[in-house]
Amino acid sequence: MDPSVKAAIVTGAGSGIGRVTALALLREGYAVALAGRRREALDETLEQSGRARSRAIAVPTDVTDPDSVRALFEAANRAFGRIDLLFNNAGTGAPAVPLEDVTLDQWRRVIDANLTGTFLCTREAFRFMKRQEPQGGRIINNGSVSAHVPRPDSAPYTAAKHAITGMTRSTALDGRAFGITCGQVDIGNAATEMTARMQGGVRQANGSVAPEPTIDAEHVARAVLYMASLPPDANVLFLTVMAAGMPFVGRG
């Protein structure tokens, strides 16, 4: 591959924010490894990439499995020769139930996908980014506004996203000496399959149910592109992209 082309890995690239961001990176000229659990969903992303498809590969990946993550990075490195960007986007949620009704399996599923998956991908990225020439790269984590405040009945997801903030800070610190930067994009109500229910009404902190506004996921992709476009000596540590009218700031 042309050494002037930057290479990225996007997890959760088969749908939602991951798909939109992967396509935006391809339009920007990146080579992109599309990672996700479902081959058919990754193939749909490839089909939507048009002429940029020649710069993309689909790698079915379970981010909770160390061997699967290792195979993803090896495949990307073989295809592109280096890894300049990792977007840790893969994740899942749990049913909105009272905290005492959350099962251990539900808790572990959310923590494994959102937090352990981010750790495993970051660990592998460090191994490649430290030894490649030139050394370094950039990691961007999908944090969510839940990294700041919870929704009712969301303990597993909120705990995982708060932990991502700590992971972002530690990654930024530990990567500093090796030219590895790390930032976090906290997203509020991007219009994806996961947020479709919000227009019909979701539970609020005061117990009421109310519809919430959403924003086009392309705004998130543009934010990631901006973060990725910075030179190695600059970093956006935290960036919030949200629907202006969502109930994120205020009381009650």
Q: What is the pLDDT of residues 176-196, one digit of tens each?
A: 999 999 999 999 988 777 666
Domain 7-242, CATH among 3.10.270.10, 3.40.190.10, 3.40.640.10, 3.40.50.720:
3.40.50.720
Catalytic site residue 157? yes
pTM: 0.94
* Residue ranges covered by each domain of the chain: 7-242
CA distances from 32 to 89, 94, 186, 189, 238 (A): 14, 29, 22, 25, 23
CA dihedral of 49, 55, 60, 62, whole degrees rounded to 10: -100
Query: Per the residue annotation, which of 87, 119, 126, 157 is the catalytic one?
Result: 157
Question: Above 70 in pLDDT, residue 252?
Answer: no
78-94 pLDDT, tens digit per residue, is 999 999 999 999 999 99
